[in-house]
């Protein structure tokens, strides 16, 4: 018998009172043990979809099953099976980290001693043991996200929902969250995450669903999605001389494409593996190269291909940095 998918969504819709269709008919299936990234700009319908899948919002159309349970008719069973870390870490600033995670354990029906044991283990896992007795209001953004993540794990959920888990975090904190997500997935937890960062989806996800205006416009592995919109390209700038000889050498490695600013561009199917042979061939032909760059299609290219628009923040692929974030000292604690 085939394994039950962790998430099954069929024509899921959500309309709001002003007739805005925030989610216009989403279909997707996430296998158990997978990391699935929902990639899209602000307002695309990512959070609304997550809120429906986590039973926080009732769909106005379609069906969704999470961990084998219907999100409308078996909402309580869904809530027992999932962990949720929402977009803005919903933490009470007046509680301490330890109090918050123990409360979460109680809400999930754990015995007091078991709740305490798991809380301590999870606080240690996310590097917050030393800060556990401090009020959450004194935590940095990264610490809050890690606490939020830990509290979502206290009942060892089958499926973990992370809504924009690294938005607004500095690169170090972001990397720390990514490492934890990968570790959790290695331990068998299915992860459904939403993000507006290309790099996050690319680095973490087994499969990516690109959502725009409430509809999934593309879905697949990051590699397959990128392959759909083009092959990797080598872009060369000659140090000196006419390009004729160089073109003659390059034609053996791939089809020539139009280039800007005096660049010679060829399509290389094998990607990075083509670099060494090209360099050797150019060297043997006595051609001096000023620069050589491998340019691969990005998920933004996929987004542009499917929607005609760039994804917000695609230029840097990641969130803004927060210099001076006291988080850094806690990362050392974590280490």
Distance CA 93, CA 91 (A): 6
Candidates 14-22, 167-175, 261-269, 314-322: pick the segment binding other proteins (CB under 8 A): 14-22
Distance CA 113, CA 300 (A): 48
CB pairs under 8 A, 24+ apart, for 110-115?
110/154, 110/155, 115/154
Question: Would you give the binding string for other proteins spanning residues 40-79, x where CB under 8 A is met?
Answer: --------x--x--xxxxx-----------------x--x
Q: Does 108 bind other proteins (CB under 8 A)?
A: yes
Q: Does 183 bind other proteins (CB under 8 A)?
A: no
Q: Does 99 bind other proteins (CB under 8 A)?
A: yes
Q: Does 167 bind other proteins (CB under 8 A)?
A: no
Taking the least distance from each CB to other proteins, the nearer of 91 and 198 is 91
Q: Does 92 bind other proteins (CB under 8 A)?
A: yes
Distances (CA, A) of 211 to 25, 37, 47, 215, 321: 11, 10, 11, 5, 25
Rounded to a whole number of angstroms, the minimum distance from the CB of residue 282 to other proteins is: 57
Q: Does 88 bind other proteins (CB under 8 A)?
A: yes
Taking the least distance from each CB to other proteins, the nearer of 60 and 185 is 60
Q: Does 16 bind other proteins (CB under 8 A)?
A: yes
Among 80, 227, 267, 305, binds other proteins (CB under 8 A): 80
Q: Which residues have a Cβ under 8 Å from the Cβ of 222 and sit 6 or more positions away?
A: 201, 202, 205, 208, 299
Q: Does 162 bind other proteins (CB under 8 A)?
A: no
Rounded to a whole number of angstroms, the minimum distance from the CB of residue 103 to other proteins is: 6
Cα 211 to the chain's mean position, in Å? 13
Burial class (CB in 10 A: 0-12, 13-18, 19+), 40: buried
Rounded to a whole number of angstroms, the minimum distance from the CB of residue 76 to other proteins is: 6
For 27, phi then psi, to 5°, come to -120, 130
Rounded to a whole number of angstroms, the minimum distance from the CB of residue 255 to other proteins is: 51
Half-sphere exposure of 96 (CA within 13 A, CB side): 13
Among 31, 72, 95, 213, binds other proteins (CB under 8 A): 95
To 5 degrees, how large is the angle CA 219–CA 167–CA 324?
Answer: 150
Rounded to a whole number of angstroms, the minimum distance from the CB of residue 235 to other proteins is: 46
Q: What are the helix and strand counts (H, E) for the chain?
A: 12, 14
Q: Minimal CA–CA distance to 7: which of 39, 44, 45, 34? A: 34
Among 104, 196, 203, 298, binds other proteins (CB under 8 A): 104
Distance CA 269, CA 284 (A): 22
Q: Does 109 bind other proteins (CB under 8 A)?
A: yes
Rounded to a whole number of angstroms, the minimum distance from the CB of residue 202 to other proteins is: 28
Q: Does 103 bind other proteins (CB under 8 A)?
A: yes
Q: Which residues have a Cβ under 8 Å from the Cβ of 182 and sit 6 or more positions away?
A: 35, 204
Token match 């499917």: residue?
306
Taking the least distance from each CB to other proteins, the nearer of 56 and 279 is 56
Residues that bind other proteins (CB under 8 A): 14, 16-17, 48, 51, 54-58, 76, 79-80, 82, 84, 86, 88, 90-95, 99, 103-104, 106-109, 135, 151
């Amino acid at each position: 018998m085939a394994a039950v998918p962790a998430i099954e969504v069929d024509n899921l819709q959500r309309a709001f009172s002003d007739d805005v269709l925030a989610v216009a008919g989403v279909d997707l299936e996430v296998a158990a043990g997978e990391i699935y990234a929902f990639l899209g700009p602000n307002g695309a319908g990512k959070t609304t979809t997550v809120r429906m899948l986590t039973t926080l919002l009732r769909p106005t159309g379609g069906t969704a099953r999470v961990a084998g349970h219907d999100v409308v008719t078996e909402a309580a069973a869904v809530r027992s099976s999932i962990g949720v870390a929402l977009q803005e870490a919903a933490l009470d600033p007046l509680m301490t980290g330890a109090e918050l995670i123990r409360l979460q354990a109680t809400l999930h029906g754990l015995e007091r001693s078991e709740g305490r044991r798991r809380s301590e283990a999870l606080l240690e896992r996310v590097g917050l043991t030393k800060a556990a007795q401090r009020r959450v209001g004194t935590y940095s953004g990264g610490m809050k996200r890690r606490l939020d993540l830990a509290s979502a794990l206290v009942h060892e959920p089958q499926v973990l929902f992370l809504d924009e888990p690294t938005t607004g975090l500095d690169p170090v904190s972001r990397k720390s969250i990514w490492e934890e997500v990968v570790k959790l997935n290695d331990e068998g937890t299915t992860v459904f995450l939403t993000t507006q960062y290309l790099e996050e989806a690319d680095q973490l996800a087994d499969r990516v669903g690109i959502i725009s205006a409430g509809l999934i416009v593309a879905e697949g592995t990051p590699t397959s999605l990128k392959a759909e919109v083009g092959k990797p390209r080598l872009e060369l700038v000659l140090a000196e001389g006419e390009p004729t000889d160089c073109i003659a050498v390059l034609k053996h490695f791939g089809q020539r494409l139009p280039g800007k600013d005096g660049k010679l561009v060829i399509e290389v199917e094998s990607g990075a593996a083509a670099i060494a042979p090209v360099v050797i061939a150019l060297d043997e032909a006595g051609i001096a190269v000023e620069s050589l760059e491998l340019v691969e299609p990005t998920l933004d290219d996929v987004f542009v291909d499917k929607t005609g628009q760039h994804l917000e923040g695609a230029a840097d692929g990641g969130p803004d940095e927060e210099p001076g974030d006291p988080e850094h000292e806690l990362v050392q604690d974590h280490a």
